[in-house]
Structure 1
Amino acid sequence: MTETHRFRHGDRIRYATQDEDGFPLVRYGFVGGVTDEGGPVVVMLDGELGGDVVDLDTIEPVSICNVTLKLDGGDLLDDPALRLGLISLWEAEAEDAGLQIAGIRPIDTARPSRNGCELAELTAAGDQYTLRAVPCPTEDAILIHCSRPSPWAF
């Protein structure tokens, strides 16, 4: 976490950890209890009955801009039909995170470049966002995430 956040009971969180094989894993859940300001937090992860005690630096509040989907295969952006499928996959991840997307409109003219491409425009909580797919800098994969549209876009 780049900034200090004070968690409260019931806050929706994104938990970044590793699976048993050492691969990155993102889970979602709720804060079940807080020990002290700098100490660990008890989280209730979706789909689990018990709580886990986790360090503060492994969780962050869920926001539309930190729900990121990582998919193997940098060539997934090459086919227009696959680009449409990426939108649906990210929507499923956003739903798992507990976000409600009011509307999503695919960008039919999206053309990939070495910097990735814009996949869709969407609305959530009354705000506008752009769904983008960008190459992963460390491996042959893509990262799909939302950002606020550029103020210079027209």
Structure 2
Amino acid sequence: MIGEYLDQPDATAQVQEHRWHHTGDIGYFDEDGFLYVVDRTKDLIITGGFNVFSAEVEATIAALPGVRECAVVGVPDRKWGEMVTAVVVADRGYELSEDTVIASVKAAIGSVQAPKRVHFVDTLPKTTAGKIDKKVIRAGRST
């Protein structure tokens, strides 16, 4: 069992309840008992009462030709609660448009999951571990 986060008592208190360490992972078991982790609760986007898994949208966008990497976050929206927003780094020599990305996601997984906005950037912020830093992205994007 994990005891605590090093020198972070507030973070430890937030994830521990009744001696359990809650990671925030969202998953399901299939009929054969295999566990599939589909996202993290902090990355879940709730838009218009629907749950959108950012990882599913990211995988769909990442499969498009010319996409080097991407991140999908929910940004505050007065009408929907959160708005699905993608931040995309295109490969050199590729011209991607916001309309192309949105239409492709709509066709593949539906309009609720499709980003309402797509921002193109040269690089995505990374953590010291080399992972995309969604906290930085969320802090810099709003409607």
> What's the TM-score, normalizing by structure 1?
0.27
The TM-score with structure 2 as length reference comes to 0.29
| Structure with more of its chain in helix, by fraction | 2
Larger % of strand: which? 1
